[in-house]
Amino acid sequence: MQNPIPVPEQIGTVDLASWTVIPGQSNPNKDDHGAWAVTAGDVEQYDLYFEVADAARPRQVAEFIVEAVQAHATRLRLGAAFADVERKREGLRTKPPGADLYEGDRSRVVAMMAQLGKLAAEAYEPAPAAERDAQRQRVYDGVTEVAALAVCWLEAHHAQYGIDGG
């Protein structure tokens, strides 16, 4: 039997889209005031399963839990992605000497699109099993750099045309 109390690691490792609310095992008639379960993972054998029973509205409590976990995990993941882009952006601002990384001219856009094409080609072709982690990291690093360059160009636009982007 699985531990009925979820641990924080389960939130990060189970696909957020798989989190759902189902009638609890003791609630086959789907009574709103009967037990409702929060599940996540593979439908055949859930990675996470716990029931909400001792509440005035168990189904609403379970739905709230799912929505809250999904929102929280999304914020954490988005924050981590933005932090990676910001670190890369700071690195780009320090090199190369004399380069205007805030310049948003057409050549930079063309270069960014070419880099995206290379990344797409690498991501499309599956690497051998032994190289998948390294490939995934290269693609992530490349996308992070493209995102950092795009942020620099957006900053240049705001510097030239004002904060409202007009």
Among 107, 162, 119, 118, smallest CA distance to 143 is for 119
pTM, entire model? 0.67
Predicted pLDDT of residue 1: 42
Q: What is the 3-state secondary structure (H, E, C) of 27-94?
A: CCCCCCCCCEEEEECCCCCCCEEEEECCCCCHHHHHHHHHHHHHHHHHHHHHHHHHHHHHHHHHHHHC
The structural domains of the chain, with segments of one domain joined by +, span: 8-71, 95-161
Q: CA dihedral in degrees (18, 21, 26, 32; nearest 10)?
A: -170
pLDDT, tens digit (0-9, with 9 covering 90-100), for 5-61: 556 665 666 788 889 999 999 999 999 899 999 998 887 788 888 999 988 999 999
Evaluate the omega torsion of the peptide bond into residue 96 and state whether it is cis, within 30 degrees of 0: yes
- Residue 138 predicted with pLDDT over 70: yes
Specify which of 61-65, 124-128, 156-160 reaches the highest per-range mean pLDDT: 61-65
Mean pLDDT is lowest, of 65-69, 137-141, 159-163, for: 159-163
Rounded to an integer, the average pLDDT of 58-84 is 91
Residues with Cβ < 8 Å from 157, sequence gap 6 or more? 104, 165
pLDDT, tens digit (0-9, with 9 covering 90-100), for 83-126: 999 999 888 776 555 555 556 566 667 777 888 888 888 888 88
Among 22, 57, 54, 56, smallest CA distance to 37 is for 22
